[in-house]
């Protein structure tokens, strides 16, 4: 077990290079089994979710080599269509393997996926979409078993623009016979990145980033060398931290349009923001005014993955903020920990009322999930005194070298063993 020790109150200055996006890299790794040629993914982030996905690929029979920041995947000898339950319990994104394993082996067996405990995340949309492509599915004893002698293109209408379901259906359709059309598809930038990756392998995927995605099946895919997009959630976390603490930082590697909803709110808070190409500069005096309301929604709306961090900022902004969480019903688990630091938060169902206080104070708090853990780090950076953030396993799922990057910006944070 490890924890962060944070001595708060320091302003943040400097430049930070943003890692490749966790939510882009994981489906790309899943897609690597679609070809028996070598796939090289560069700028792989050193986070536990990626390591667990690489372990899953090894269990399928893929050969994995690491060369600097690159992962080299050779799946020509992959033989297994089953993912061990011990691994699927560790990582939610193991569900992405369903579509790609079905495409490769025409059958797949997986237990229900794990990941952060932020509420129900049913995979019905994934399964109903796969059924449209001709997949037979049996669910029993905690496992999902799928089989399809041949996958055929179809029209799939999603009841909700689910990122995971959109990506899984794309992975199942790239070599299916005929055309697949996904309507009410999710529009997240990571889906565009998956489309670009697959098309570089010889796929024919069109329309990612819009509500309608078209996939024309191809006979085969070839190897590829690829650099994933930058992590908009990591960039947002650093920008939120600088806004709360005060100072001036620059993020490198994320486009303004990919986090426009957050930048709009930070400007409302009183921050000055300048963006050019993939660089974003934020200036803050640390004396923020609250925004009256913000609510999470699918892209291009405010991301649920930045709700906790932005709520931590709202705890020290002047005024009252109403937070509405529209995607996950237990995403406010961090609120009780922030209250230990002096935050004024009232949670009721999917809403929270945050009354800004003049200052937070250091305390011992525990990360309950990935983004909630990041919110506690933001709170610790702005708080008076010393804060201990426990259970870093959650934070390590999505942030690589988190404390090192923060120290380069002037934060007083260190990782210690318990």
Q: Where are the beta strands (DSSP E) in 191-296?
A: 204-206, 212-216, 224-226, 247-252, 272-276, 279-284, 293-295
Find the catalytic residue in 116, 245, 271, 368.
Answer: 116
Query: Please, are residues 20 and 43 in contact by the beta-carbon 8 Å criterion?
Result: yes
Closest CA to 280 of 310, 227, 242, 229: 242
Strands 212-216 and 179-183 turn out to be antiparallel
Q: Residue 72: which residues within 8 A CB-CB, separation 6 or more?
A: 38, 39, 40, 64, 65, 66
Q: Count CB neighbours of 68 within 10 A.
A: 8
Angle in degrees, 0-180, between the axes of helices 48-60 and 22-31, rounded to the nearest 10: 10
Measured between alpha carbons, how far is 157 from 306 in angstroms, rounded to an integer?
28
Q: Is 271 a catalytic residue?
A: no
- Residue listed under structure tokens 């089953």: 82
Q: Residue 263: which residues within 8 A CB-CB, separation 6 or more?
A: 239, 256, 273, 275, 280
At 174, list the tokens.
Answer: 């790239």
Alpha-carbon distances of 364 from 85, 247, 367, rounded to whole Å: 33, 26, 10
Measured between alpha carbons, how far is 175 from 34 in angstroms, rounded to an integer?
9
Query: Please, are residues 169 and 182 in contact by the beta-carbon 8 Å criterion?
Result: yes
- Residues that are catalytic: 116
């Amino acid at each position: 077990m490890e924890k962060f020790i944070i001595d708060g109150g320091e302003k943040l200055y400097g430049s930070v290079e943003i890692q490749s996006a966790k939510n882009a890299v994981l489906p790309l790794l899943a897609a690597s089994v679609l070809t028996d040629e070598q796939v090289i993914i560069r700028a792989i982030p050193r986070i536990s979710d990626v390591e667990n996905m690489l372990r899953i690929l090894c269990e399928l029979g893929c050969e994995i080599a690491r060369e600097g920041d690159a992962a080299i995947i050779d799946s020509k000898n992959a033989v297994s269509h089953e993912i061990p339950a011990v691994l699927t319990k560790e990582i939610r994104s193991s569900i992405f393997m369903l579509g790609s394993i079905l495409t490769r082996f025409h059958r797949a067996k997986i237990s229900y996926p794990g990941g952060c405990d932020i509420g129900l995340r049913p995979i019905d949309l994934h399964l109903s979409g796969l059924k449209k492509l001709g997949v037979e599915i049996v669910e029993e004893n905690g496992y999902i078993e799928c089989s399809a002698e041949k996958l055929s293109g179809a029209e799939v209408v999603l009841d909700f623009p689910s990122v995971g379901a959109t990506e899984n259906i794309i992975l199942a359709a790239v070599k299916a016979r005929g055309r697949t059309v996904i309507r009410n598809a999710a529009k997240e930038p990571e889906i565009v990145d998956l489309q670009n990756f697959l098309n570089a392998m010889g796929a024919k995927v069109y329309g990612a980033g819009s509500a309608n995605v078209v996939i024309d099946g191809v006979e085969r895919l070839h190897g590829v060398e690829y650099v994933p997009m930058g992590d908009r959630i990591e960039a947002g976390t650093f920008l939120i931290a600088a806004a709360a603490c005060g100072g001036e930082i620059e993020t490198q590697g994320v486009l303004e349009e990919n986090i426009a909803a957050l930048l709009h709110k930070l400007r409302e808070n009183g921050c000055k923001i300048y963006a050019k190409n993939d660089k974003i500069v934020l200036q803050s005096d640390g004396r923020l005014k609250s925004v009256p309301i913000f609510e999470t929604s699918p892209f291009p709306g405010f991301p649920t993955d930045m709700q906790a961090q932005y709520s931590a900022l709202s705890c020290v902004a002047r005024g009252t903020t109403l937070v509405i969480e529209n995607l996950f019903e237990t995403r406010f688990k961090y609120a009780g920990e922030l209250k230990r630091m002096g935050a004024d938060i009232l949670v009721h169902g999917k809403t929270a009322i945050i009354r800004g206080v003049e200052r937070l104070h250091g305390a011992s708090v525990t990360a309950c999930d990935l983004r909630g853990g990041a919110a506690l780090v933001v709170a610790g950076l702005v708080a008076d005194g010393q804060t201990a953030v426990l259970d870093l396993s959650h934070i390590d799922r999505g942030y690589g070298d988190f404390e090192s990057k923060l120290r380069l910006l002037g934060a007083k944070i260190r990782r210690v063993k318990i």
